[in-house]
Amino acid sequence: MLGLDFGGTKIAVAVCDLAGNKIGSAAVQSGGEHGARVSFARGLAAARQLLADAAPGTRLAAVGVSTFGIPLEDGVELAPAINGWGELQLGRELRTEFPGIPVAMTTDAKAAAQAEARWGALAGCDTAVYLNLGTGLSTAVVANGQVVVGSHGAAGEIGYNLRSVADVGLPLDRRTMLEQMVSGQGLSSRAATDSGASSRSRASSDTQASDTKADSDAQASPDGQATAAEIFAAAAADTALAGLVDEFLDELAFHLVNVAILVDPARIAVGGGMVGSWDRIAPRLREALEAGVPYPPELVLAKFPQEAPLLGAVALAIDAAAAAARQAGQAGPAGQAGQASQQHTDSQPARTPQSTQPDHPQPGQVDLASVGATTPAAASWAANAAGPSAPSGRQVQETPGSSSVQLEPSAQMDAQPGTEHGPVASNQGIAV
């Protein structure tokens, strides 16, 4: 199984066995400043290298992909983080890269919610909300054990929320989206604008005082601005930055309270790069939820605060492989099943989000619906569940502006080759 998580500042990949046990992982900077084509190539190069090193000579059963924005066959909608990402024909490109292999796609927040609902902090909670605080801002809702997609795949995209009544009736190009102000990237931009160039030096001087290890999804673009982690760390000794952080948290709390009133969740789990500042974020959000929601939900840190989108992509791959295997058994020869799956995928409208979810495997197959948080899949990812650290496994070095990567072995990675799986149907696009 191969999982890929395309983020605004980081791309993470993992190779797993059929149960989701992590065999190896890697991470590269997205290189978004170089455009979508370079960023996409970096992710594919890291995936190819990791497959070659962690599972040489084995058959790839399926690929699961999470991304910022709404992934489609011929584009990615609502994806402003990297120039040109919206025009990238993500589904077609992935099926070209992995011919004959089932490919499943969804948004990063929905993938993270799926991972947390199956293995993590949202397991057994109905209804629940996942809040993603990273480079961008989004949520995902879990109801009746399923991640809510929405009619266009955009359920939970609160980054587009109106910020005040003055925004009513204004198109996007005439108003400031919530994500532009309340996100890791938004906070960095606000610090640069509100505090001037000195904000970088103030934040950087205090960075060592903080033991937070926020990953690159919490960072600003590499343009010299202070990162969100630096701003939170420096706010303890800088009144201007403290005020900015307070405004940030108040606006985030305002919108989270409204989400909780609408959905009535039992629990809200928070993940993403910014949870490195959880000790500063959590008290304000809890206070707002307790005061403003008729039935306040429990607020918790995600079990996989950094890797939930990647683990969710792995879950997608497991479901896609199981569904393809069942289809192959029903259709007879693997070639017939693959042909049927290909025809089904190609018949879907290009600009319609693929929102069908495969049935869970039958007895004798992998059934993630019945897997708890103590399963081997969760245990193999537990090294990263304790806090906001970089992915375990193989770390990746890349040349700036290039898609070439070099993997370095890590003592935390089990490099045993994976097992070869049976025939699977080809190219079944799935999104939850």
The pLDDT value recorded for residue 326 is 87
Give the whole-angstrom CA distance, residue 177 versus residue 122: 28
The pLDDT value recorded for residue 196 is 52
Upstream peptide bond of 127 is cis (omega within 30 degrees of 0) = yes
List the one residue out of 417, 396, 401, 318 whose CA is nearest residue 49. 396
The pLDDT value recorded for residue 329 is 76
**The CATH number of domain 2-114+306-408, selected from 3.40.50.2000, 3.30.420.40, 2.30.30.90, 1.25.40.10:** 3.30.420.40
Cβ neighbors of 167 (< 8 A, separation 6 or more) are 175, 176
User: Quick one: which H or E segment has residue 152?
Assistant: none
The pLDDT value recorded for residue 229 is 93
The pLDDT value recorded for residue 220 is 43
- Amino acid letter, residue 401: G
Do 88 and 70 contact (CB within 8 A), yes or no?
no
Give the whole-angstrom CA distance, residue 14 versus residue 314: 8
Q: Measured on CA atoms in the order 410, 414, 415, 421, is the torsion positive or negative? A: negative
The hierarchical CATH code for the domain 121-301 is 3.30.420.40
Q: In whole angstroms, how large is the CA radius of gyration of the chain? A: 21
The pLDDT value recorded for residue 80 is 83
Question: What SS3 class is residue 356?
Answer: coil
Question: 239-263 and 198-206 are packed helices; what angle lies between their axes, rounded to 10 degrees?
Answer: 80
Residue 270, strand partner residues: 131, 301
The pLDDT value recorded for residue 135 is 87
The count of residues in the chain is: 432
Cβ neighbors of 226 (< 8 A, separation 6 or more) are 188, 191, 192, 199, 200, 202, 203, 204, 220, 234
**Strand runs (DSSP E) across 44-143, as ranges?**
63-67, 70-72, 75-77, 103-107, 128-133, 137-143
Domain limits, CATH 3.30.420.40, in the chain: 2-114+306-408, 121-301
Question: 308-331 and 108-119 are packed helices; what angle lies between their axes, rounded to 10 degrees?
Answer: 80
Tens-binned pLDDT, residue by residue, of the chain (432 aa) = 999 999 888 999 999 998 888 999 999 999 988 999 999 999 999 999 999 999 998 899 999 999 999 999 999 999 888 999 999 999 999 999 999 999 999 999 999 999 999 999 999 999 999 999 998 999 999 999 899 999 999 999 999 999 999 999 999 999 999 999 999 999 999 999 875 534 444 444 444 434 443 444 444 444 668 999 999 999 999 999 999 999 999 999 999 999 999 999 999 999 999 999 999 999 999 999 999 999 999 999 999 998 999 999 999 999 999 998 888 776 654 444 344 333 333 333 344 444 333 343 332 233 334 333 344 455 567 544 543 333 333 444 333 334 333 333 332 223 222 333 322 222 233 333
The pLDDT value recorded for residue 24 is 94
